[in-house]
Amino acid sequence: MDRVDVVVIGAGVVGLSVAAHTVRDNRSLLALERHEGFGRESSSRNSEVIHASIYYPPDSLKGRLCLEGNRRMYDLCARHAVPHRNTGKLIVATTEEEASRLPALLTLARGNGAGGVRLVGPDEIARLEPRVRAVAALHCPTSGVVDSHALMQHFAARAAAGGATLVYNHAVAALERGAGGWVVVARGRGGEEFRLGARVVVNCAGLASDEVAAMAGLDVAALHYRIHYRKGSYFRVTRGAAKLPRMLIYPVPPLDHTVGIHTCPDLGGGMRLGPHDTWSETLDFSVNPSLRDLFFEACAPFLPSLERDAIAPDMCGFQAKRFGPGEPTRDFVIRHEADRGFEGLINLIGIESPGLTASPAIGPMVADLVDAAL
Ligand SMILES: Cc1cc2nc3c(=O)[nH]c(=O)nc-3n(C[C@H](O)[C@H](O)[C@H](O)COP(=O)(O)OP(=O)(O)OC[C@H]3O[C@@H](n4cnc5c(N)ncnc54)[C@H](O)[C@@H]3O)c2cc1C
């Protein structure tokens, strides 16, 4: 049986960032991914927004890693020519009731350290983004968009250049305890089985991160590691995108732990709207065309030039949440499970939004955990 120092399970943006930051000259590292390439799940089915760290509970890992990830993201995109744009964002109130909720959001944003967020009135909104209708807004200058594929390509290339091996078409099927660590059992597409010894295993399996934790023997229900799927559907603007704002435009968040249906301007000049969020028991990737009216009515109050018949179903993605319907929100889990008797197992569970933004900060955090574990 072959042996390596570190196995990373999952090649989404988080697993790739972990691999890129964890490789060392004197360390063997292998990343296992069940699909034929990287980023085939949540990391390529999202809004591609670089978040400013506004909405998260104070002192949460989500808030802290989002803030640090935002700073690192702009730095790495600039240094490595990863396509991105610092568009800025407006969280727009279209009624006086919505406007009355902005000060509390501003306090939350400031508590999270989000840089430069401020309340703006109609005149300034008209100056910043004349194609929007709003009575008041929060302006978030550090928000932006990033090409998520190019970001993952950057992390994958950096991991490979550092000596990591990325193995596709191999699904981890079991984790067994072995001498000095773990035995990772993986299956290829044809059903052939491989056994690999690893001193440290890092679980970055996204929507299946609870299954991988359970393979190791953790009680995922008791630890609140069970993953619940939250489906986010998008519509694409098929006509008149050039007349829509180039800044990110978000509504005042509804009271359901979502950020609401917002604009997602892409780097090619196109525009998506979304996501519309629903809980889901299955991973069904269809987008319901009858949501058209709902999308139009959600966005038309702040996008006066939007036309009802110029939006069409686009795509959807699934968030890996640690809470289900009616439960309180839960934070990211990023921890070495040694204190629970699982020496050498590092779990990343519930890495939902802002996981893309946070990915450049998650990599170094996990690298520190791996350094301490080896
Ligand atoms: C609709 C939506 C909108 C979002 N918008 C934003 C946003 O605007 N900004 C932001 O910052 N974040 C956003 N997010 C969150 C962000 O996309 C995720 O946090 C991030 O992509 C998670 O990356 P990941 O690598 O953990 O998961 P994934 O990309 O899902 O990767 C996990 C990988 O593990 C692999 N895997 C699973 N099980 C196994 C196994 N047994 N063996 C081998 N491989 C396995 C999977 O195939 C997959 O490739 C959004 C998410 C969604 C769904």
pLDDT, position 179: 86
For ligand 1, whether the C-beta of 334 sits within 6 Å is: no
pLDDT in tens, 78-116: 999 999 999 999 999 999 999 999 999 999 999 999 989
State whether 268 and 316 are in the same domain. Answer: yes
55 assigned to some structural domain: no
Cα(13) to centroid(ligand 1), Å: 7
> CA dihedral defined by 246, 252, 256, 262, rounded to 10 degrees?
-10
Residue 175 domain boundaries:
2-45+149-226+328-373
pLDDT, position 329: 94
CATH number, residue 137:
3.30.9.10
Q: Using CA positions, which residue lies closest to atom 18 of ligand 1?
A: 355
237 assigned to some structural domain: yes
State whether 304 and 157 are in the same domain. Answer: no
Nearest-atom number in ligand 1 for the CA of 49 is: 8
The confidence band for 58, taking pLDDT boundaries of 50, 70 and 90, is confident
pLDDT, position 255: 73
pLDDT, position 232: 98
The confidence band for 186, taking pLDDT boundaries of 50, 70 and 90, is very high
For ligand 1, whether the C-beta of 10 sits within 6 Å is: yes
State whether 217 and 235 are in the same domain. Answer: no
pLDDT in tens, 223-269: 999 999 999 999 999 999 889 999 999 999 987 778 899 999 999 99
- To the nearest whole percent, how much of the chain has pLDDT over 70? 100
User: Where in 206-261 does DSSP place strands (E)?
Assistant: 228-237, 248-251
- Give the number of other CB atoms < 10 A from CB of residue 97: 9
For ligand 1, whether the C-beta of 205 sits within 6 Å is: yes
Compute the distance between CA of residue 96 and CA of residue 20 in angstroms, rounded to an integer.
47
Pocket test residue of 66, 318, 356, 362 for ligand 1, highest count of atoms within 8 A of CB: 356
For ligand 1, whether the C-beta of 149 sits within 6 Å is: no
For ligand 1, whether the C-beta of 14 sits within 6 Å is: yes
Compute the distance between CA of residue 172 and CA of residue 346 in angstroms, rounded to an integer.
15
Minimum mean pLDDT range among 57-66, 140-149, 154-163, 202-211: 57-66
CATH number, residue 22:
3.50.50.60
Compute the distance between CA of residue 362 and CA of residue 308 in angstroms, rounded to an integer.
40
State whether 266 and 333 are in the same domain. Answer: no
Where a domain ends, among 279, 298, 321? 321
Cα(218) to centroid(ligand 1), Å: 22
For ligand 1, whether the C-beta of 32 sits within 6 Å is: yes
For ligand 1, whether the C-beta of 46 sits within 6 Å is: yes
66 assigned to some structural domain: no
Domain count within the chain: 2
72 assigned to some structural domain: no
